[in-house]
Structure 1
Amino acid sequence: MRDYLKFKLLGTLALFLVGCGGGSSDSSSLLSGENPSPTATPTVPQPSAIPEPSIAPLPTVSPVTTPTPSAQPSPTPTSTTSPPPVARTSIEAWKQFVRAKNSGEQLPFPDFSYAGFKQGEEAIPNPSWQQFDVTDFGAKPNDNKDDLASIKDTIAAAQKADGAIVFFPKGRYLLSEQDDIYDSLININGSKLILRGEGSGVGGTELFFREHLLSRTPEKMWTTPPMISINGSTSSSSGNKITNITRNAKIGDFHITVANASALRADDNIIINLKDPKAATDDALQPYKVEDNWTEFKEGEFSREFHKIKSISGNTITLTMPLAMNISKDYNWELRKITLGNNFGIENIAFVGNWKEKFQHHKSIIHDSAWTAIRINKYENSWLKDIRFKDWNQTLSINASHSFSVINSLEEGNRGHQSILVQNSYGVLVTHSHDKIDTGMHHAFGVASRAAATVFHRSSWPKETTFDSHASFPHATLFDRIDGGFSGASGGHGGSDKSQPNHMHDLVFWNFKDLGNNDGITRDWWRTDSIYSRFLEIKMIGWHGARANFIDPQLARNDSYGRDVNPESLYEAQLELRLGKLPNWLNQLNKEAKEK
């Protein structure tokens, strides 16, 4: 843990010196009047050799009172005397990232630009695959008859092709007309398949589910199967161990060294996984302490990322995407191999449930999960685009995947339990997606279960709810240019007390606009008056809107509190820095959103 702690403290203390100051969170002294031009920044070189990361002496800082479960500071808020919002201003945080990226030093926050389909470099494709029209297999929209069997036949035929589009002409299709069903209605397996409709709005393609499903273990309120289950492979979601990592690596690195790479090949999908109870010490949570009831954390499997191998030289592996976590050779870091599906998509379809009750959290399995729409497991380079969910208590979950995009997703209708949830995945991008339910889903967009490098971008939810971080150790999550509730919200993060903390390092809010209506509320990110709600290393840049108060020592940085900043979007700025310009697909997406 020595190396791990040194890496962690170096980053945290450096950020604290630059960004927090331990007192007033008004970072006006760090503001700069000019936004650096990413196009003028040199391309970051990929080193051909990887020297062992050196551990510099820790910098000396003035003592700061830090909260621990045994000595939590009183809820003293950060300064609330920041000037009122003014014209957006650029800040030192972005310049610091560019300098660190070019020099190879420890990054102030991860590079989130690799999130999404093809790491954001390419538009969602429109392949000329064979088309299978559901009406050719007996489905008939708007006839008020069950279409499930015909649609399943269409999908079965399409999966035999080497690339296929299952086409749903406009109209309403009935898929859940029977009750007492205990299994998913539609099961999809494999790659190169698109479900495509003729529009997700009114008058487009609607898949309607009248009856909810049942669970064989109803006492476990999360166990109802989804209406549609999509699996990219039969591989275990945890993968199969191949070898161990033998050298240190840090956030932002593309290289890892293993004991034996002979069983690995370029283009393999891998999982980098910490599995060592010796790592589950207070050092991993500085300045906090491991709590007695944290049985899952104590198992020592609290850091994991999905990656793809770009190349191999000896026992040195080059990754296609950068690490979003530090790796210490002092602990048992495993490299596992996993098989993922690819090029799966859903486009231009509305998924409409029949959940009509007034939602009550954990009242019963009916309220929590009986109306679950879609679960996707084990995919890379896949997407959902232009979709709508109405009247569900769970909409969409993405698991054991990487390089996945959700674009233009809309949620409406009756309030339910869970919005879009990303878990056990790397580099999922949720962009231009909105919860338009009156009071929002109880848990808004969020992460859980070791999710990493997740980006929620230019999206929104109502003021009555807030983001979800559902415990089991997600890390490196970016809420980027989000309009959503926070202060005084009635929903939000969840998770078992045994699976705390809710979030590990690098929970980043960039230009988050708090729509809440409870100015002055104090947010305790590491509560000691409850067995829930533990968040590590909060990084807030450009937080504005309602004026919540925060406890200084709980923030790794709090820049420009009360004012939005330049660059407007961290994801876009990092992507432009890497590619030299924003890709056309993203410019077009932003343009269309402004025109709506």
Structure 2
Amino acid sequence: MGNKSKKERKNKYLFNTKVLVFVGVFVLNTAFSQEAKMPEILVNKKVIKENYLPDFSFAGYHFGEKETPKQYDHYLNVTDFGAKPNDDIDDSKAFIDAVKKADELEGYVVINIPSGKFNISKIIYINRSKTVLRGVGAGEKGTVLYFQRSLRFVQDPPEHEELMAYLSVFDKKQREPQNGVDNTFSQYSWSGAFIWVAKKGKFYKSYNIPKYNQPITTYAKGLSGKQGDFKIQVDDASKVKVGETYKLCWFNKDGKEGSFLKHLYDNQNIEIGKHHWDNPESPLVTQMVLVTKIDKNTVYIKAPLLHDIKTDWHCAITEWEHIEEVGIENIAFEFPLYPDLPHHLEEGNNAIYLTSLMNGWVKNVRFKNADSGILTDDISNVTIQDVITYGDKLAHYSVSMGEVHNVLVENLYIKNKVRHPLSFNTRSTKCVYTNCTIEQQPILDQHSGANQQNLFDNIKVYIDAPVHETLKYPLFKSGGSKFWHPAHGAFSTMFNIDINFANIPESLNKPILLNGIINGISARLIGFHANHPIKIDYTPNAYIENQNQIPAISSLYNYQLQNRLKKK
């Protein structure tokens, strides 16, 4: 879409809003007739007690308490390894050699990329802690990484061996008979990218195939603990160390009727997919935990517990192999305009893949014509901020939350069409999208697979669909396979969602229904408002407050973070 049409489109939103406010015919739209209100779930003690609301403030780099480093030990420049901007010659080897040199050094290393366009055709792995890939900016005169060929032309990465087996064993195919499509999913649909952050040799994600299951190193078994608390009673804390980060795991070893499974879905009468119990030796829920103190067999952790700890829930503190302090910043990523392909058959025009990373960041980046800008798995406390995705390519993901914990995405502006513009995927927990905008075909996606306690926060969406004809719009979506249903576990939250409808007739005096999910468990939906009256259909057992009402605070994440920091 050209600049002129975008400008005209935005003018339409402004015009419609002004008309609605001026005419005043929509008496149902209380957002125009009432002052902003503080949600009861934040201030009313009775409501707070009866409706658990997670503390999302621990998401982000160092739990939101630190800025990224300002000083480093070593500086390298890709041009010293043979890279030349704007010459249309492949620079992959120079980048790879610069990363190899960084591996030989101690301390923080910055790999600088000057302004201009650099051609990349191979995967660039970052496998060491304290490494920063830095350009000079993501604007017109900044640093551009240009990927002239997709990942389909790259040798299959060994890290994808189990994924490839999964696609075969579970017959993962995109089937569209009406379009003549019957093809196995691409290995790059949700995994892999040209810039790949990972601990070397790390097995970063399980697909429940016994042949590939790796032994889990257990340091202590959990005996008791309370959801939202900061301490765990264990059987023996002698192998646990202060200052180390572990995976705290909950296992469902009791089948379809397991009590932990019932707890996860808030005891709602809902159909649960078989992947919740068909591999009992793999954890169903994980939480990365930083140990702050040990007192005999009581282990104290930095962030609150996702769930209670009980002996019959088979909880354990286990090893987590990861790297730390990796950053990617001030870079534009551009791809050729490939034809749009059916869902899950993407070519692999993926820019960044973050795996096995603690306390990292991506900031000030833009993605043009990418299949996926940023994909994530097995990371914790990473901040992704100031991101723009655009172009004429239909993307799969913008910035995706995979199997991750405490990840913060803020200031994400999505200009292009994306199948899953904002998406919490399988086993994602306590992650946050905040201050984000979706310009086209917006969806708030929760991709099933025991994802839970995640937050959509201060989100603005623009809807072009002719909702005046249907009086509804499917803003909520649940992707993923049926064997991972339902859509999400208890207490996933949406706060201050601003909906902007286009082309609403002045005479329309009925509310528009926002729907799309029928199996999202015990969600919290607070402060949905629009330029026309709305109502929400979200089941089962949703807590809905401030409908058609702007909340008195714009961001739940920032509200919780500031309150927590004041108490320190």
What range is the shorter-chain TM-score in? 0.7 to 0.9
Q: Describe the shift of the 1:268–1:96 C-alpha distance in structure 2 as closer, same or farther (beyond 3 A).
A: farther
Q: Distance in 1 between matches of 2:309 and 2:29?
A: 38
1:254 pairs with 230, 240, 250, which one? 230
Q: Which runs of 5+ in 2 are unaligned?
A: 1-26, 157-163, 168-182, 206-215, 464-471, 505-510
Distance 1:133 1:404 in 2: 25
**More divergent stretch after superposition (298-307 vs 316-325):** 298-307
Q: Could you list the per-position Cα deviations for residues 56-85 of structure 1 after superposition, in whole angstroms to 9, with x for gaps in the alignment?
A: xxxxxxxxxxxxxxxxxxxxxxxx956243
- 1:431 alignment partner AA: E
Q: Which moved more, 1:561-570 or 1:222-231?
A: 222-231
Say which is worse superposed, 142-151 or 271-280, in terms of deviation. 271-280
Q: 2:388 aligns with which of 389, 393, 410?
A: 410
Report the Cα distance in structure 2 between the residues aligned to 1:248 and 1:165, rounded to whole angstroms.
41
* Residue 508 of structure 1 pairs with residue 493 of structure 2: yes
One-letter identity of the residue aligned with 1:324 = L
Q: Distance in 2 between matches of 1:552 and 1:394?
A: 28
SS at 1:444 equivalent? strand
1:433 aligns with 2:418: no
1:477 equivalent to 2:424? Answer no
Name the CA shift for 1:377/1:98 in 2 (closer, same or farther; >3 Å): farther
* Contact 2:533-2:548 within 8 A present in 1 as well: yes
2:196 counterpart letter in structure 1: S
Residues 464 and 137 (structure 1), Cα distance of their counterparts in 2 relative to 1, 3 Å cut: same
- TM-score, normalised to structure 1's length? 0.75
Deviations 1:105-160 (A, max 9, x none): 78731111111111111222222321101111110001111111111111111222
Q: Do 1:297 and 1:500's aligned partners in 2 also have CA atoms closer than 8 Å?
A: no
Amino acid at match of 2:542: A
Cα pair distance change 1:539/1:297, threshold 3 Å: farther
The code of the aligned residue for 1:566 comes to A
Equivalent position of 1:43 in the other structure: none
Local SS of the residue matching 1:210: coil
Q: 1:547 to 1:423 in 2, by over 3 A?
A: farther
Tell me the distance in 1 between the aligned counterparts of 2:451 and 2:273.
Answer: 19
Matches of 1:244 and 1:91 in 2, distance apart? 39
Deviations along 1:399-433, one digit per CA (max 9) or x if unpaired, are 21211100101111122111211122211110111
| 1:206–1:298 Cα change, 3 Å | same
**In structure 1, which of residues 536, 556, 568 is the aligned counterpart of residue 542 of structure 2?**
556
The one of 275, 291, 303 equivalent to 1:321 is 303
Question: Among residues 127, 131, 139, which one is paired with 1:189 in the alignment?
Answer: 127
1:240 correspondence with 2:217: yes
CA distance in 2 between counterparts of 1:491 and 1:558 reads: 14
Tell me the secondary structure at the aligned position of residue 575 of structure 1. helix
Moved more, 236-245 or 494-503: 236-245
User: How has the CA–CA distance of structure 1 residues 485 and 313 changed in structure 2, closer, same or farther, with 3 Å as cutoff?
Assistant: farther
Matched ranges for 1:168-207 at <5 A: 168-176=113-121, 185-207=123-145
**Would you say the 8 A contact 2:476–2:514 is kept in 1?**
no
Cα distance between partner residues in 2 of 1:345 and 1:463: 29
> Partner residue of 1:88?
36
Counterpart position of 2:373: 395
Q: CA deviation at 1:516?
A: 4.9
CA contact (8 A) 1:221 1:369 kept: no
Task: Give 1:452's match in structure 2, choosing from 421, 429, 434.
Answer: 429
> 1: CA distance between counterparts of 2:476 and 2:496?
21
Change (3 A) 1:455 1:153: same
**CA distance in structure 1 between the aligned counterparts of 2:291 and 2:520, rounded to whole angstroms:** 31
Q: What is the rounded CA distance, in whole Å, between the counterparts of 2:269 and 2:279 in structure 1?
A: 15
Matched, 1:268 2:215: no
Distance 1:470 1:552 in 2: 15
Query: Equivalent residue for 1:374?
Result: 352
CA contact (8 A) 2:56 2:560 kept: yes
Equivalent residue number for residue 111 of structure 2? 166
Distance change >3 Å, CA 302–CA 502, structure 1 → 2: farther
Give a deviation string over 1:483-523, Cα, whole Å, max 9, x none. 12576358954211111122111111111112355962352
* Alignment match of 2:521 (pick from 510, 525, 536): 536
Deviation of 1:292 after TM superposition, in Å, equals: 7.0
Asked if the contact 1:525/1:554 (under 8 Å) is kept, the reply is no
Shift of 1:358: 3.1
Task: Tell me the distance in 2 between the aligned counterparts of 1:419 and 1:242.
Answer: 37
Corresponding position: 1:422 with 2:401: yes
**Deviation for aligned residue 1:287:** 5.1
Alignment partner, residue 469 of structure 2:
none
Task: Give the SS at the match of 1:576.
Answer: helix
* Aligned residues of 2:387 and 2:412 also touching (Cα < 8 A): yes
**1:523–1:548: 8 Å Cα contact kept in structure 2?**
no
After superposition, the Cα gap between the structure-2 partners of 1:203 and 1:457, relative to the gap in structure 1 and judged at 3 Å, is same
Q: Return the alpha-carbon distance in structure 1 between the equivalents of residues 277 and 485 of structure 2.
A: 7
Matched-pair contact (CA < 8 Å) for 1:96–1:108 = no
Aligned-partner Cα distance in 1 for 2:476–2:120: 31
- How far off is 1:450 after superposition? 1.2
**Partner residue in 2 for 1:156:** 100
Please name the residue that 2:172 is paired with: none
Shift of 1:240: 2.6
2: CA distance, partners of 1:492 / 1:515: 18
Alpha-carbon shift at residue 310 of structure 1 (Å): 0.9
Contact kept in structure 2, 1:243 and 1:335, CA below 8 Å = yes
Match of 1:118 among 54, 57, 62: 62
Change (3 A) 1:388 1:304: same
Written as runs of structure 1 = structure 2, the 5 A alignment for 1:1-400 is: 81=28, 83-85=30-32, 86-96=34-44, 108-162=52-106, 163-176=108-121, 185-214=123-152, 220-224=184-188, 225-232=192-199, 234-237=201-204, 240-250=217-227, 252-278=228-254, 280-281=256-257, 283-284=262-263, 285-286=265-266, 288-289=268-269, 291=271, 294-297=274-277, 299=279, 301-362=283-344, 365=345, 368-400=346-378
Q: Secondary structure at the match of 2:105?
A: coil
The yes-or-no answer on 1:520 pairing with 2:500 is: no
Q: Return the offset for 1:359.
A: 4.7
- On the 8 A contact 2:449/2:484 being kept in 1, the answer is yes
Partner Cα separation in structure 1 for residue 46 and residue 409 of structure 2: 24
Supply the distance in 1 between the matched residues of 2:235 and 2:29 (Cα, whole angstroms). 52
Asked whether the 8 Å contact 1:200–1:349 carries over to 2, the reply is: yes
Distance 1:97 1:197, change over 3 A: farther
* Secondary structure of the corresponding residue to residue 276 of structure 1: coil
Q: Give CA-to-partner distance per residue, 1:451-506, whole Å, 9 cap, x none.
A: 11101111111241212222211111111111125763589542111111221111
Instruction: Tell me how far 1:387 sits from its aligned partner.
Output: 0.7
SS class of match (1:310): strand
- For 2:488 and 2:437, the matched residues in 1 are separated by 21
AA at the equivalent of 2:274: W
Report the 3-state secondary structure (helix = DSSP H, G, I; strand = E; otherwise coil) of the residue aligned with 1:565. Answer: coil
Aligned-partner Cα distance in 2 for 1:186–1:97:
52
Residue identity opposite 1:155 in structure 2 = V
How far apart are the structure 2 equivalents of 1:165 and 1:92?
Answer: 47
Counterparts of 1:523 and 1:298, CA distance in 2: 31
Distance 2:193 2:539 in 1: 41
What's the RMSD between the two structures over aligned residues?
2.7
**How many Å apart are 1:442 and its aligned residue?**
0.8
Instruction: Tell me if the contact between 1:227 and 1:372 (Cα under 8 Å) persists in the aligned partners.
Output: yes
Match of 1:569 among 544, 555, 558: 555
CA offset digits 1:212-237 (Å, max 9, x no partner): 12286595424134222110354444
Question: SS state of the match for residue 452, structure 1?
Answer: coil
Q: Which is richer in strand?
A: 2
Q: What are the Cα deviations for residues 353-393 of structure 1, in whole angstroms up to 9, with x where unaligned? A: 2243135324xx2xx35212211111111100101111111
Shift of residue 98, structure 1, vs aligned partner: 11
Q: 1:339 to 1:293 in 2, by over 3 A?
A: closer
Report the CA distance between 1:325 and its aligned residue: 2.8
